[in-house]
């Protein structure tokens, strides 16, 4: 076997010029293949870890109150955060995401901006590294964003700062809508101006997320949309979204409250009813109103006649209620206006106050109540009870969708149906950022096709050269066969020769690919607002080669070259010595 190696290596050096040219072709092919693969991975890396993770999260938990997609708030925040941290070990970090449209006035210039919250506390080291990479500060410091001594510190991109004519230390006045829909104006202090790493960072004004929540009117237990960053988003995103969907199932909502009448106060269970027509019709069949002429409307609040008698409350009167809350030591309060009286029965006993969903959620969400089911005197309807389906849940968990189109349709329906309460939608990046991911697939496809075309052109050249080599050396084959070399050894000589040639060329090509990638990524590309800039990392081409793909491609090239050489080599080995020696060109 050893001599076959020697003959193969010697043959390589015999035809130096041809083999060098052939080697260059294979090296070039390897180089292109590795670079294209690394570029494609680089794009994926940028899209998944620098864009999708900030724009939509690998997995996101989205909230919208009363069908209003701009009211992205959930009032039982600590519970959800705790549950996610416990149940999703595959997660790298979970961050709150808020984006609000605002009108900003700088120095005699105004513009529309988006106020975006930056979470400085929840991220891990990688998040901090990414943040520093994304915020290439021209003036000021990224860390000033968290400076509590400055009035609402903000960072903005150089283009935006230039347009608004503001510099570090200047005040930016903004007008925006509070969570409750009121117009609000605030003063923001520019603490830094940065060069945006991608097109998505040019327009927004960045504030620390807790500061932004405060100016928007979020309470201490309120959270906004949650973005989960995963270690392996491609593998885990859908699986985790499905898992969270199972964990976020709501239970029946209720308040065990104290309501005050004229002379006395009584503990009651306050339950909400769904105010859609079907639910109201069901409710109508389940309760008996004291005054049958009264209609059950979207605004009704029902109190039992016996309770009304005890409290000396009449229809049309407003009653105050207080209740224990989940998070505060101070009791929660609310007001409800009684619109009709009913006769208590087994389904809805007399110590129940039945409230339309809009008014119910107004009280329920104003200060999240403690679990009413744990109170001894509370009425907890059985799940099999006839009224259970029409009673309000803590929130409305939306079904998981499969595509972005389905998601858009679902959001539209929530708005149209004006679903009361908080709607929660759990999405993986495959639904929420499918357009970005489709871009990744398209770029992969284009790169793959271009590389394959180039690679096959090179391959045809290699095959042709090998055939020529064997043809030229037919007489030589005849000679070595005549002096006793076996058929399989002849075949192996040619295969080994091709193996060595392709191996050395592939290794050189790999080294060349890494050198070329290093050089290419050194050049800074000024993409500015060009969308293509989002494929760059800090203005540089981003290559992300992986050991597995590099080794894989080297093996693939060697395999293709060897397979290509096998057939001409077999043909050569099958020649009889006499026939081969007679060959003349």
* Interacting residue ranges for another protein, rule: CB under 8 A: 68, 103, 105, 110, 173, 175, 178, 180-186, 217, 298, 415-416, 418
For residue 541, the minimal CB distance to another protein (Å) is 39
Of residues 111 and 258, the one with the C-beta less far from another protein: 111
Q: Are 193 and 136 in contact (CB under 8 A)?
A: no
234/409 with CB nearer another protein: 409
DSSP string for residues in 150-213: SSSEEEEEHHHHHHHT--TT-EEEEEEE-TTS-EEEEEEEEEEEEEESSGGGSS-EEEEHHHHH
Give me 88's structure tokens: 């999703």
Strand ranges, E, within 358-405: 396-397
Residue 184 or 447 with smaller CB distance to another protein:
184
Contact predicate 440/545, CB 8 Å: no
Nearer to another protein, 276 or 476 (CB): 276
Q: Which is nearer to another protein, 301 or 557 (CB)?
A: 301
Tally of helices (H runs) and strands (E runs) in the chain: 18, 20
Instruction: Find the shortest distance in angstroms from Cβ 340 to another protein.
Output: 20
User: What is the C-alpha to C-alpha distance for residues 573 and 453, in angstroms, rounded to an integer?
Assistant: 32
* Cβ proximity to another protein, 286 vs 362, nearer residue: 362
Q: How far is the CB of 303 from another protein (least distance, A)?
A: 23
Cβ 284 to another protein shortest distance, Å:
19
Q: Any idea what DSSP says for residue 117?
A: E
CB of 182 to another protein, least distance (A): 6
Smaller CB separation from another protein, 65 or 208: 65
User: For another protein, which is the closer residue by CB, 183 or 585?
Assistant: 183
Contact yes or no for 402/426 (Cβ under 8 A): no
> Which CB, 150 or 556, lies closer to another protein?
150
Whichever of 109 and 239 has its CB closer to another protein, that residue is: 109
Q: For another protein, give the closer residue by CB, 71 or 139.
A: 71
Q: SS3 sequence, 445-482?
A: HHHHHHHHHHHHHHHHHHHHHHHHHHHHCHHHHHHHHH
Whether residue 345 contacts residue 287, with contact meaning beta carbons closer than 8 Å, is answered with: yes
What whole-number distance in Å separates Cα of residue 328 and Cα of residue 528?
Answer: 49
- Distance of closest approach, residue 171 Cβ to another protein, in angstroms: 12
For residues 365 and 63, the answer to whether their CB atoms sit within 8 Å is: no
Residue 515 beta carbon to another protein: minimum distance, rounded to whole angstroms: 53
The distance of closest approach from Cβ of residue 101 to another protein in the complex, given in angstroms and rounded to an integer, is: 12
Judge contact between 157 and 203, C-beta under 8 A: yes
DSSP structural state of residue 507: H
Minimal CA–CA distance to 394: which of 271, 526, 564? 271
- Is the CB of 181 or the CB of 531 nearer to another protein? 181
Pick the closer one to another protein by CB: 82 or 299.
299
Shortest gap between Cβ of 544 and another protein (angstroms)? 44
Could you give the count of Cα atoms lying within 13 Å of 220 in the half-sphere of its Cβ? 4
The minimum distance between CB 105 and another protein, in angstroms, equals 6
The structure tokens listed for 330 are: 């101070």
Cα–Cα distances in angstroms (integers) from residue 203 to residues 87, 139, 173, 206, in the given order: 35, 18, 16, 10
Burial 188-223 (b: 16+ CB within 10 A, else e): bbbbbbbbbbbbbbbbbbbbbbbbbbebbebbebbb
Q: How far is the CB of 33 from another protein (least distance, A)?
A: 50
3-state secondary structure of 237: helix
CB of 214 to another protein, least distance (A): 12
Residues 478, 584: contact at Cβ < 8 Å?
no
Pull the structure tokens for residue 379: 């009425």
Give 70 or 456: the residue with its C-beta nearer to another protein: 70
Burial of 263 (0-12, 13-18, 19+ CB in 10 A): exposed
How does 69-104 read in b/e, with b if 16+ C-beta sit within 10 Å?
eeebbbbbbebbbeebeeebebbbbbbbbbebebeb
Closer CB to another protein, residue 68 or residue 290?
68
Quote the least distance from Cβ 102 to another protein, whole Å.
Answer: 11
Residues facing residue 174 across a β-bridge: 104, 186
Distance in Å, CB of 362 to another protein, minimum = 9
Tell the smallest beta-carbon distance from residue 112 to another protein (Å): 11
């Amino acid at each position: 076997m050893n001599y076959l190696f020697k003959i193969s290596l010697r043959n390589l050096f015999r035809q130096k010029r041809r083999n060098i040219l052939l080697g260059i072709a294979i090296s070039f092919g390897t180089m292109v293949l590795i670079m294209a693969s690394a570029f494609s991975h680089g794009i994926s890396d940028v899209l998944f870890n620098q864009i999708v993770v900030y724009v939509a999260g690998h997995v996101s938990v989205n909230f919208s109150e009363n069908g209003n997609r701009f009211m992205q708030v959930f009032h039982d925040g600590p519970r959800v955060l705790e549950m996610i941290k416990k149940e999703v070990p595959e997660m790298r970090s979970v961050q709150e995401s808020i984006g609000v449209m605002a009108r900003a006035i700088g120095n005699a210039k105004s513009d529309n901006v988006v106020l975006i919250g930056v979470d400085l506390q929840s991220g891990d080291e990688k998040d901090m590294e990414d943040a520093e990479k994304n915020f290439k500060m021209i003036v000021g410091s990224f860390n000033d964003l968290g400076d509590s001594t400055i009035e609402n510190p903000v960072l903005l991109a150089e283009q935006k700062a230039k347009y608004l004519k503001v510099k570090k230390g200047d005040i930016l006045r903004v007008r925006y809508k509070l969570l409750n829909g009121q117009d609000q104006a605030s003063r923001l202090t520019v603490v830094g101006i940065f060069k945006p790493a991608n097109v998505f960072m040019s327009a927004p004004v960045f504030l620390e997320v807790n500061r932004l929540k405060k100016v928007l009117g979020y309470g201490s237990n309120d959270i906004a949309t949650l973005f989960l960053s995963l270690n392996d988003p491609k593998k885990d995103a859908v699986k985790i979204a499905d898992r969270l969907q199972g964990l976020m199932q709501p239970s029946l909502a209720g308040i065990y409250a104290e309501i005050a009448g004229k002379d006395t106060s009584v503990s009651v269970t306050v339950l909400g009813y769904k105010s859609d027509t079907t639910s109201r019709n069901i409710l109508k069949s389940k309760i008996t109103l004291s005054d049958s002429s009264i209609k059950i409307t979207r605004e009704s609040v029902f109190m039992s006649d016996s309770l009304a008698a005890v409290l000396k409350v009449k229809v049309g009167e407003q009653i105050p209620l207080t209740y224990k809350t989940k998070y505060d030591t101070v009791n929660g309060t609310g007001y409800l206006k009684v619109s009709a009286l009913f006769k208590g029965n087994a389904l809805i006993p007399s110590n129940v106050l039945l409230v339309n969903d809009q008014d119910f959620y107004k009280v329920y969400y104003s200060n999240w109540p403690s679990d009413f089911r744990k109170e001894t005197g509370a009425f907890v309807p059985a799940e099999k009870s006839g009224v259970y389906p029409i009673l309000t849940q803590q929130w409305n968990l939306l079904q998981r969708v499969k595509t972005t189109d389905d998601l858009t349709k679902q959001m539209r329906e929530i708005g149209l149906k004006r679903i009361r309460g908080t709607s929660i939608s759990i999405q993986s990046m495959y639904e929420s950022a499918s357009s970005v991911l489709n871009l990744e697939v398209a770029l992969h496809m284009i790169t793959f096709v271009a590389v394959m075309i180039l690679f096959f052109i090179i391959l045809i050249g290699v095959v042709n050269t090998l055939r020529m080599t064997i043809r030229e050396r037919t007489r030589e084959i005849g000679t070595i066969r005549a002096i006793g070399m076996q058929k399989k050894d002849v075949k192996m000589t040619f295969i080994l020769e091709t193996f060595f040639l392709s191996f050395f060329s592939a290794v050189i090509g790999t080294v060349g690919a890494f050198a070329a990638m290093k050089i290419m990524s050194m050049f800074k590309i000024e993409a500015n607002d060009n969308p293509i800039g989002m494929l760059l990392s800090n203005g540089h081409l981003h290559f992300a080669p992986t050991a597995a793909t590099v080794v894989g491609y080297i093996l693939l090239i060697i395999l293709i070259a060897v397979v290509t050489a096998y057939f001409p080599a077999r043909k050569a080995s099958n020649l009889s010595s006499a026939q081969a020696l007679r060959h003349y060109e």
